[in-house]
Chain A
Amino acid sequence: MTDSRFEICIQLIRNGERDGLREIYEEYFKLIFSVMQSVVKNREDAEDLTSDFFVKLWDRLADAYKGGNGHKSWLVAAARNMAIDRLRRNSRTETTLNAQEETGGIPEPKSGENLEEAVIGSITVSEALAVLSETECMVVSLKLFSDFTFKEIAKALKMPQGTVAWRYQSAVKKLQNYFKGVCGT
């Protein structure tokens, strides 16, 4: 979605037209969900927060949008802030999965699949992402899943671009080492 199109949708929301919200939702609900999940590390809470986010976008956030470039960064920043606020309000500690939990043995590779792929397939990515910090998790999700540029991520997370790049490389290295360790190579 272009910035111009986003502004049109925001204008529709301000005018009470649900089509504007629906269009933004269709485009970005997975992005918002992934942001929420990166922070709260819990699928059900992330779903609740995603729902709350779009309701809040309808009620208040659209009025606060100032336009210009970078609507994706704006959405991510707003979603992340909302998730962090919820965490603080609920005084929850982050739950992480024990990355060393047994998964029931290494599966047999299927035909055409090598051992590495079979092992990786049996590990949920959430377990792998649990080795990352919240910021690293967010950076990796935005970069790999949502194809954000480092500049966009820097704007969304309010950190220097160089720091984003470094965090990303660090997170990728951790994930690669994690999968390498699980594969036993």
Chain B
Amino acid sequence: MTHVLMIAVAPPAEQTILVDALKRFRGKGATVHLACFFETGTLEIEPGLAELHTFAVDTAADPRFRRTLARSQPARRPWLHARRSHWIREHARRADLMVAVDAKAINTVWELAQRNTRADAISGLAPALRALTARVEAAGATANGGLGRQVRSSTSIGVRGVRRFVVDTGRSTLLNASGTKVMKLPAGAWLWSKAVAAPRIPDNLRSKLALRVHTSMVRAGQASIAIRTSAAAASRIRDAQTRARLLADEALAELDLGRVPTELRSAVTAQLSNADAWATKNPKRAVDALASAFGLLTHRVLHLDQVRSPLLIEPDAFLAPVRTSTAARRLSAPRGRSTIAAPPPTDRPQRLLLVVPDVDESVEELRRHCAELSNVELRLLGVDAAPDSRAMARDSKSIMEEILTRTSPFGVRVEDWIRPHLDWADTVLVDRCLSTAALVTLHDPGATRIIVRLNGPELFELWPHLVDFSRVDTLVLPSVHLREPAQAVLPWLAEAEAPRIEVLGDPLHLRPYDRPKSDDARFTLGLVGFNAVTRDPRWAIEVLRILRKQDQRYRLMLVGTGLSAKTSAAAKRYNDQLRKDYAELEPAGALLRQGPTDDLPQTLTGIGVILDSSVYQGFPRSLVLGAASGAVPVARDWPAFAGRSEGAAALLPAEWVAATPQQAAERVLAVTATEERWREAGREAAGHTYATWDWPVVRPEYDRLLGRTGH
């Protein structure tokens, strides 16, 4: 029996190749143990082929190990994990053949081979199979190596330990010398600003050094020196791709620190210039550059983890590099359709295909409502519909490549998936302007009518830029205030071939919310949904503080999953402040965190005033549901739209809207002054809500939408 120990550091991209190789190893009588530096749950391997084991150590509880890892070279880190694994040590001792399944596993196998001098140590599955064959054929021959190899290895292990200590110390010294502490010193910052711009440094080295120095300077609060240093280093880099990558990496590093990059525009422009240069010669490279540029422009720190998105403040300036890039413009350039959409059939029910990114609760509601529409045969198409459709929906690079080249196999796969549905449907309703909208418009839809619902947050994402709006018949917005920003972000919407824009509220079934309020609801403010910085719960807390100065009976109930501090440093900063607010207000009973609820109508019975503190909204669903429950609505005048012709007041009654926490508090005090006044205000708001957004009211609008023909 031959014992084989395989080490895999990266999940195999070609899993079938691994499985096939394992079958061949078994066919030659080998027992295989496969150690993975990743969760083995991702592997679909029959138990009889190999025993699987994960050797990544949980570093959370071991700061010393974390420091050791941080000091070591990346290629050595898997080995540092592996040597702590009893399982690996045991099987390495018994192994006749050790195999590095991928290049990142070579160092680990090399180290194991220094300890088991008898075994063969091979890189790659096919060469390992050959080695196994040779070993089987030479069975009985003297084992490799022997005492000499063992002695040399043992000595070498000791010598290397000393050498590594010296090398790691040297690296640590360099890292410390270019670290934040040094950059805080004027002399240190000055020295490094000159060093990265010194002549005759190879581009790659200069790029790495400049990134390190730039990031340290930004951390040290030396942003202006960082800009100058970066510019000086970039001007010395001859290769345009390296220069663009440096600028992009610097911008990403700043975003990781939760900052809006100082040279965001330069970084985006450089990447897009590369994309323009490569667009025809090498579309894959062009796509990489485009993905990098849009990755920066749509980074969540810019739009979701801070309260002022530059896209909404100055869309033209923010997107100017996109407007001037030929490659970026080609992504959304109208490609047209061969025929206009056919009118709905009159001799049979209209076939409606509802395309959704994920089947969640709101989609279920939309699906139920669509099923109720007049004379409609409904089908739902989610991104899990086909074996690889989710992967296709995530693959923005392949979508870009198909748009640029029109001949990629990816395009054929998408068409294979989508085309039968397009052929079946009279009308396709794409919910949310995300990847599904890009995929549906990737090919000519023929006579099928395409309707896309844009909820609002998608404007911050890449996907709308990949949608061919010349193939969309109707774009549905949930509120009129989104029209202007949508046209600013997507200028094609103002072109001749643009789709018709319809404003239709969310299809909401409000009757379940009509329940009596509890007795203590009058002084309970509620905020439903605060899982993003842009929901700005601290604005609601500010309202609460003002109220409590007047009357200590007011309290705030936060309903839903809280903010995640892990998304970015910017979100963490906001969350830190929020936690301080909790610490101050919760002990006094002023703030109550309810957590997520399965029964929102019941939860709302305890809320007398429903707040919307968002920086922006496409459609304030929670506010409307709260108002339907009889809570008095108070909405922030979404600052992202402040100064525009249409904002929150374009959708909501003016008396619901407050520009500042002070105004909001004043409205709350006024409407809750007496029990009667409060209940009356709640009834009025509920009345408006039912008359405006309840499904029976909205449904004819949807019927009308589906009854319409194309351009």
Q: Does chain A bind chain B?
A: no
Residues of B within 8 A of A (CB): none
Residues of A within 8 A of B (CB): none
